[in-house]
A and B are shown apart, each in its own frame.
Chain A
Amino acid sequence: DAKTTQPNSMESNEEEPVHLPCNHSTISGTDYIHWYRQLPSQGPEYVIHGLTSNVNNRMASLAIAEDRKSSTLILHRATLRDAAVYYCILTPGNSGYALNFGKGTSLLVTP
């Protein structure tokens, strides 16, 4: 399975934008890039996913490098509720798959 590398932790001020990086230099052409997050004492929740083009939804934006070897999850205005562990995960296409979570990035949001 292709691996991802994320910083262990990041810190942001409330209402500031947050850019969470992810490196995936061994990504294959059919791998999708997914982001999930896990709030304290909860199960993980889906944030966003993409293949080649940048993606936007109500929660976040996903910027994918042209060579697809890295991506960035963008939270446009961090709130205290965004404090969570964020996981960048590669999945091999659109069939059933096991998510390989890794350790993720722990985001601290300060008021």
Chain B
Amino acid sequence: DTGVSQNPRHKITKRGQNVTFRCDPISEHNRLYWYRQTLGQGPEFLTYFQNEAQLEKSRLLSDRFSAERPKGSFSTLEIQRTEQGDSAMYLCASSYRDPRDTQYFGPGTRLTVL
């Protein structure tokens, strides 16, 4: 298994454009998380899926943000009408429902909104 992968690794966009990121979790991991990290800060939780069900959303996830995990495997995070404040690293993590529930993180997608 190659771990959690995220694409693209970098995205530069103009304000007002829509962007979509993809996360491929470790196979057989049924939980998938999205986090956002700005410079000098720790990652902040955005949302969480168990299989295809989105079970929790942070208040940070404004209505411009939407996340899906249609078949309980890969997930997409879309940001509509991007703003400069959306510039950040977007991290995806997955875990398997066992007593430890350790989260394994991908390398992230760095978004720059001009």
Q: Are B33 and A98 neighbours in the complex by a CB distance under 8 Å?
A: yes
Whether a CB of chain A sits under 8 angstroms from the CB of B31 is yes
The residues in B between 1 and 60 inclusive whose CB is less than 8 angstroms from any CB of A are 4, 31, 33, 35, 40-45, 48, 50, 55-56, 58
Which residues on the B side are within 8 Å of A102 (C-beta)? 42
Which residues on the A side are within 8 Å of B91 (C-beta)? 43-44
Which residues on the B side are within 8 Å of A95 (C-beta)? 101
Which residues on the A side are within 8 Å of B100 (C-beta)? 49, 94
* Consensus secondary structure, chain A interface: loop
Q: Considering only CB atoms, which chain A residue lies closest to B110 in the complex?
A: A41
A74 to chain B, nearest CB (A): 19
Question: Number of contact residues on A: which range applies?
Answer: 20 to 34
Q: Are A43 and B55 neighbours in the complex by a CB distance under 8 Å?
A: no
The residues in B between 75 and 105 inclusive whose CB is less than 8 angstroms from any CB of A are 91, 93, 95, 97, 99-105
Q: Are A99 and B50 neighbours in the complex by a CB distance under 8 Å?
A: no
Which residues on the A side are within 8 Å of B108 (C-beta)? 43
B111 to chain A, nearest CB (A): 15
Whether a CB of chain B sits under 8 angstroms from the CB of A29 is no
Q: Are B107 and A43 neighbours in the complex by a CB distance under 8 Å?
A: yes
Q: Are B101 and A101 neighbours in the complex by a CB distance under 8 Å?
A: no
Whether a CB of chain B sits under 8 angstroms from the CB of A111 is no
Q: Are B101 and A103 neighbours in the complex by a CB distance under 8 Å?
A: no
Q: Considering only CB atoms, which chain B residue lies closest to A101 in the complex?
A: B42
Q: Are A97 and B43 neighbours in the complex by a CB distance under 8 Å?
A: no
The residues in A between 77 and 106 inclusive whose CB is less than 8 angstroms from any CB of B are 85, 87, 91, 94-104
Please list 19 pairs of residues, one from A and one from B, whose beta carbons are closer than 8 Å in the complex, sorted by A's number: A36-B103, A43-B91, A43-B107, A43-B108, A46-B102, A46-B103, A49-B102, A87-B42, A94-B99, A94-B100, A96-B48, A96-B56, A98-B33, A98-B48, A98-B58, A99-B33, A99-B45, A99-B103, A102-B42
